[in-house]
A and B are shown apart, each in its own frame.
Chain A
Amino acid sequence: MAGILKSLAASTAAAIGRSDLALRLGKSTSYARALRNERGGIGDKSATPAAIYAAATQRMDGVQPMTFGTLPSGEPVRVRRDLGLMSALILGATGMGKSRLLIALLLEPLRKVIDDLRLDTHRQADVGVELELIDPKFETFDLFRKYVAALWLGANDAGRELLERSVRVIDWSHERVTPLTPFDNHFTEISNAYLAHLRADVTTRTSPQTYTDAMRQLLYMFDWLLIELRYPLSYRFAVRFMHDTGFRKGVLTSVPEPEVRYYFENFDLTVPRQTRDGFLRRVQYGTSFPELRASYIPPEAMDKLGLMNEAPITLVNTACTTTLPQALGYERAAWRATDVLCAAPRRDPRRPKSFVLEESVRFLEDANADHVETLLTALRTLRSVNMGIVLTAQDFSNAVPTSVVRTVLLNTTWIAGFRAREDAQIFWPHVVGVPDDRRAESAKRDAYLREMAGLARQRYLLLVKGNPVLPLRAPDVPKPGDALGVSENQLLDVFNREIAAKSMLPTAIAMKLIAEWEARVVEQGEVRPSQTKIASRKPSITNLADLKRFFTTTEEE
């Protein structure tokens, strides 16, 4: 009866030209039909779930497979590497096994390379897969480094040597720090102005303090100045530059960019004193924590240190929750992420790369931020350079803006869902039903949501686009030291000594380098010509006459 009434109402609405009302009245029918259409692609309705899973497993298997887990029947599910390393989303509540799944997947290719080297020490050693892991919550970073240490302990000399030159660590603590040079433009195709914009945008969006328009402009121009001069972020330099007119004029003589020079030459007229003071307070806050201050090594000193700059595997720990303000860790995570993603379009596509961003909700929550736009563009485009982006998140559907959710869901190739109620909606249309289940669609859906809300640890749903959802048990990941019988502290010692030491330096040395730079540049006012200027003055020698001229002028100088 209700159906007939609804149909009549819809016809009347259509007759009076209100198609929207007619469509609204048919909403529930459209929803049910859309679900049916979606599932139409899953397989034969009369087939059993086991048969559908077996067919899907067969479709996903292939060259260099990665083990994603086991089906309820105990059959392992392997996904070919080119599919497994594409962009993905791992969802679920905390402690449900997201990080363990990630580690199982990421370690598999590395473990295989080390095992192969053990069998044949003369083979060409290469890690095969590149990895960038940014972890703002420490847990995955910590686990991963222990597994790498365990791999190092179990490897032969060739394997150890490979690990030592392939793993870079970005971390900072009381004892040692990885030097960072965020104001040094390594990119060939990104202008100093755009790099300054990226840095300033991240800082203003991640900072717990507010930035007025004038202060944001000042931050942008100051970042641009540092990039032009290849200077580190230093509170002492900022104070003297803002307050000492003579010093400022001296510094500006070596800035090649007229836009920057013009802005700071008229600084006293255009920037109010309150803005300057507020800006300096923010710089002081950002550099007041010794671990962070020590990481702002002058780029010129960094060149001489000989530390590992880039490596196929980079582990980044930006967790600050308990030791430092979280916003500062987030700022560095966003800087690193934009650096990697901006450089990605020009990478060598022969070696696949996986970019893993843990706890991505915090990163994605501001849809207007430039680093979010960069990440979303990367999700859409980096397939062409063989790079996949893996995001892990909790409460993704609610905490992230709808437009971002939509872009991420459209551009990820596979989605794994651990225990979660809200995110379970993503999988529902692709869930395989039992053929003789006669319950209403809503009853089936409610039962499914209840099941997802109480899913056991290590159990998850895997949705590879174009396939039905597979209910899996994630691979078992034994404790890192178990096989070798060593404690976790011993593993950490090995990691710090053999691997991290190649890319980190003691905090005391870093502080000394910074103090030397400040004494020279800030106290004595020594200003070196910028790199750009040096590059422009570099003579080009193409013939004998040029060579003669070069030696003559050098002698005169």
Chain B
Amino acid sequence: MKKLAVAWNATLALLYVLALPIYAAKWLRRAVESLFNLSELRKGFIDCPHCGFRNPLDILAFCRRCGMAEFGSRLYCTTCKQVTKAFPCDRCTAAIRVL
């Protein structure tokens, strides 16, 4: 019984070691994507992939969750801390995914 437990733990450890590069690659990809998104956010605008309209990210924004209206990023509500990942283009209303 004891041998079985040791074998089980060893198999599990081996699986973790084998999966590590996959998880590391996944995390790295996400980190690169997030950093890229951040640089996009820093520019302050996003071009609509559908119609090419330049949508400002920082405007008089309304939170879809709590209804708060404030000057700031349209992706983040400072009142309810809601993060919005996508918003409709101001011209063609196509959904633009940012985060």
Chain A interface (Cβ within 8 Å of chain B)?
A: 10-11, 14-17, 19-20, 22-24, 26-27, 29-31, 33-35, 37-38, 402-403, 406, 409-410, 429
Q: Beta-carbon contacts of B67-79 to A below 8 Å, as 1s and 0s?
A: 1110111011010
Instruction: Determine the distance from Cα of A542 to Cα of B12 in the docked complex, in whole angstroms.
Output: 93
CB distance from A22 to the nearest CB of B (A): 6
Q: Which residues of A contact B57 (CB under 8 A)?
A: 30
- Among B44, B59, B71, B83, the most chain A Cβ lie within 10 Å of the Cβ of B71
Task: Let me know if A34 and B58 touch, CB within 8 A.
Answer: yes
Task: Give 7 nearest A-B pairs by CB, closest first.
Answer: A23-B76, A33-B58, A34-B71, A14-B34, A34-B58, A30-B73, A15-B31
Q: Does B46 touch A at the CB level, under 8 Å?
A: no
Task: Let me know if A23 and B59 touch, CB within 8 A.
Answer: no
Which residue on chain B has the smallest CB distance to residue A428?
B71
| Cβ contact of B34, chosen from A17, A29, A37, cutoff 8 A | A17
Instruction: Determine the distance from Cα of A23 to Cα of B73 in the docked complex, in whole angstroms.
Output: 8
Which residue on chain A has the smallest CB distance to residue B84?
A23
* Number of B residues with CB within 8 Å of any CB on chain A: 29
Instruction: Determine the distance from Cα of A383 to Cα of B35 in the docked complex, in whole angstroms.
Output: 46
Instruction: Determine the distance from Cα of A20 to Cα of B99 in the docked complex, in whole angstroms.
Output: 10
Q: Does B96 touch A at the CB level, under 8 Å?
A: no
Q: Which residues of B contact A406 (CB under 8 A)?
A: 62, 67-69
Which residue on chain A has the smallest CB distance to residue B68?
A402
| Cβ contact of A402, chosen from B37, B67, B71, cutoff 8 A | B67
Q: Does B81 touch A at the CB level, under 8 Å?
A: yes
Near A by CB (< 8 A), chain B positions 4-58 give 30-31, 34-35, 37-38, 41-42, 44, 56-58
Known contacts A31-B71, A403-B67, A406-B67: A14-B35 contact under CB 8 Å: yes
Task: Let me know if B71 and A35 touch, CB within 8 A.
Answer: yes
Instruction: Determine the distance from Cα of A316 to Cα of B92 in the docked complex, in whole angstroms.
Output: 46
- Dominant SS among interface residues on chain B: mixed
- Among B66, B72, B75, B76, the most chain A Cβ lie within 10 Å of the Cβ of B72
Task: Let me know if A37 and B59 touch, CB within 8 A.
Answer: yes
CB distance from A379 to the nearest CB of B (A): 15
Chain B interface (Cβ within 8 Å of chain A)?
A: 30-31, 34-35, 37-38, 41-42, 44, 56-62, 66-69, 71-73, 75-76, 78, 81, 83, 99
| Cβ contact of B83, chosen from A10, A23, A27, A34, cutoff 8 A | A23
Task: Let me know if A30 and B58 touch, CB within 8 A.
Answer: yes
Task: Let me know if A429 and B83 touch, CB within 8 A.
Answer: no
Told that A11-B38, A17-B31, A38-B59 touch, could you supply 12 new A-B pairs with CB distance under 8 A? A14-B35, A14-B37, A16-B31, A19-B34, A19-B83, A19-B99, A27-B73, A31-B72, A406-B62, A406-B67, A410-B69, A429-B71
Q: Which residues of A contact B75 (CB under 8 A)?
A: 23
Q: Which residues of B contact A19 (CB under 8 A)?
A: 34, 37, 83, 99
Q: Which residues of B contact A14 (CB under 8 A)?
A: 31, 34-35, 37-38
Instruction: Determine the distance from Cα of A382 to Cα of B67 in the docked complex, in whole angstroms.
Output: 23
Instruction: Determine the distance from Cα of A34 to Cα of B44 in the docked complex, in whole angstroms.
Output: 9
Q: Which residues of A contact B31 (CB under 8 A)?
A: 14-17
Known contacts A15-B31, A17-B30: A34-B69 contact under CB 8 Å: no
Q: Which residues of B contact A15 (CB under 8 A)?
A: 31, 34-35
Task: Let me know if B38 and A22 touch, CB within 8 A.
Answer: yes
CB distance from B33 to the nearest CB of A (A): 9
Q: Which residues of A contact B68 (CB under 8 A)?
A: 402, 406
Which residue on chain B has the smallest CB distance to residue A426?
B69
Instruction: Determine the distance from Cα of A406 to Cα of B70 in the docked complex, in whole angstroms.
Output: 10
